[in-house]
Amino acid sequence: EIVLTQSPGTMSLSPGERATLSCRSSQTVSRNNLAWYQQKPGQAPRLLIYDASSRATGIPDRFTGSGSGTDFTLTISRLEPEDFAVYYCQHYGSSSPTYTFGQGTKLEIK
Amino acid sequence: QVQLVQSGAEVKKPGASVKVSCKASGYTFIDYYIHWVRQAPGQGLEWVGWINPNSGATNYAQKFQGRVTMTGDTSISTAYMELSSLRPDDTAVYYCARVLIPRAQRWFDPWGQGTLVTVSS
């Protein structure tokens, strides 16, 4: 069973700064099987990135997904006030199939 | 626009069952899988299972097999998730989510607003 480990657990940054969020898998995964979601307090998650680097509809281009193998990254180039939220990575395993989430990274205002 | 609207909050006693609904609009219901994901208070996301509304086929996370049943009513574009033998640690917000691409199984977009299920004696 694949385990996704996100780091850091909490990140404190200021608007305008660059955020780099990490998602590490316990096994090599296909790029096509990794996604990122954003969740704001009291709201449902929202799909940001799928297939490791494809932006979902309506997602600003300041959000970029990258990585391969066991290491994946979500980069937010210049933080806007509305970007402060919790971010989850997710793996899709086609064999069972299974859907595994990381534990999340909370991005908070410094 | 595509929208998923879930039923309201529920309070149940241990051992009871709960059935949550998810009404879809703005797209062809049978073309997209529906997933269910739950989130315990202050915790992360946990996948529960999916249903293919076209065929009725389901796939459940091993943790929930034997306790969860997912169904769909194509006449009213609504998916249901029933969880039985409830325990206090089933207390969570339960989300339904449509898949991104027709007839595919992965990537959840959009999501319903969530339904809080509280299990308490």
Q: What is the pLDDT along chain A (110 residues), one digit of tens a residue?
A: 899 999 999 999 999 999 999 999 999 998 789 999 999 999 999 999 999 999 999 999 999 999 999 999 999 999 999 999 999 999 998 877 789 999 999 999 99
- Judge: A44–B95 Cβ closer than 8 Å, yes or no: yes
pLDDT of residue B58: 96
Which pLDDT does position A96 carry in this prediction? 72
Distance in angstroms (rounded) separating the CA atoms of residues A88 and A104: 5
What is the residue-wise DSSP string for B14-35? TT--EEEEEEEESS-GGGS-EE
Are A100 and B47 inside 8 Å of each other by CB? Answer: yes
Distance from C-alpha of A37 to C-alpha of B90, rounded to nearest angstrom: 23
Locate the chain B residue with the closest alpha carbon to A98.
B61
In the 8-state DSSP scheme, what is residue A14? Answer: -
pLDDT at B53: 96
How far A18 CA sits from the closest chain B CA (Å)?
24
Is residue A45 within 8 A of residue A39, CB to CB? The reply is: yes
Report CB contact under 8 Å: A104, B47. no
pLDDT single digits (tens) B76-119:
999 999 999 999 999 999 999 999 988 888 899 999 999 999 99
Calculate the alpha carbon distances from B93 to A18, A63, B38, B39, B42 in Å.
32, 27, 6, 5, 10
Please state, in angstroms and as integers, the Cα–Cα distance from residue A5 to each residue in A12, A22, A45, A88, B41, following that order. 19, 8, 18, 10, 20
